[in-house]
């Protein structure tokens, strides 16, 4: 795809290649992590709320968390922009509440006298590796799949069994909910709007909703 002149067809092809979870699948992963580990839950919750890559989360430092302003600074990879974003609090759904998740993890860190400068640490101490971040996600995703298959629910597809799918999932769900390309790019830290257009042009849900609204105006 020519990022300087993307066509509708090239955007649609790119969109078709995006693998993601459904909202309820992602929520089940977060709920399970919340019940199991303060570290894992805060990690996956912040990944979700800020659309982070595994490497970005692994390299996040304690100094990147500003408790006073309630902000997190993410130094994005792959040519993306550094972003400073507000913590996300989600009343009624604690598994999505980043503020509570981070506070819980930092209390545990302090109790364990964790000296690392990185936010999320390995069991042996020190920063997590991106591959470990992926393993953490896959561990919970596999358990969620076992439960979903047992009750006859749609499992997370094999193609989405990697932590980067969280980023794709959030962008896809946001586009389907009507978030515009500029806002998508700001949240993800993309330097180019063409990355955001993949999600908006690939969303038949969004296109259908827009047409339904316009059809009422046209045929009033």
pLDDT confidence of residue 72: 97
Domain boundaries, the chain: 8-218
CATH number corresponding to 8-218: 1.10.443.10
Rounded CA separation 74/209 (Å)? 33
Mean pLDDT of the chain, nearest integer: 87
Positions in the chain short of pLDDT 70: 1-18, 200-207, 209-210, 220
pLDDT confidence of residue 134: 97
Which residues contact residue 164 at a Cβ distance below 8 angstroms, ignoring those fewer than 6 apart? Answer: 53, 54, 134
* DSSP-based three-state secondary structure for 74: strand
pLDDT confidence of residue 208: 75
Q: Please choose, from the candidates 106, 59, 66, the residue with its C-alpha nearest in 3D space to the C-alpha of residue 86.
A: 66
Q: Please choose, from the candidates 82, 37, 43, the residue with its C-alpha nearest in 3D space to the C-alpha of residue 166.
A: 43
pLDDT confidence of residue 11: 39
CA 10 vs CA 13, 46, 178, 190, 202: distances in Å: 5, 31, 21, 18, 10
| Model pTM score | 0.84
């Amino acid at each position: 795809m020519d990022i300087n002149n993307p066509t509708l067809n090239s955007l649609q092809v790119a969109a078709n290649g995006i693998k993601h979870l459904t909202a309820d699948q992602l929520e089940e992963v977060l709920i399970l992590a919340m019940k199991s580990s303060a570290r894992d839950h805060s990690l996956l919750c912040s990944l979700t709320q800020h659309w982070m890559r595994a490497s970005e989360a692994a390299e996040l430092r304690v100094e990147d968390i500003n408790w006073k302003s309630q902000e997190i600074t993410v130094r994005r990879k792959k040519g993306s922009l550094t972003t400073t974003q507000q913590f996300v609090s989600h009343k009624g759904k604690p598994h999505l509440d980043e503020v509570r998740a981070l506070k819980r993890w930092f209390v545990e860190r302090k109790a364990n006298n964790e000296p690392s400068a990185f936010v999320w640490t390995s069991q042996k101490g020190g920063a997590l590796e991106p591959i470990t971040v992926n393993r953490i996600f896959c561990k919970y995703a596999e358990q969620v799949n076992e439960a979903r298959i047992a009750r006859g629910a749609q499992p997370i597809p094999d193609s989405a069994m990697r932590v980067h799918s969280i980023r794709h999932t959030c962008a896809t769900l946001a586009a389907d909910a009507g978030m515009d390309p500029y806002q998508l790019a700001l949240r993800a830290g993309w330097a180019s709007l063409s990355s955001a257009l993949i999600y908006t042009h690939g969303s038949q849900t969004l296109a259908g909703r827009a047409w339904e609204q316009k059809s009422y105006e046209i045929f009033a």
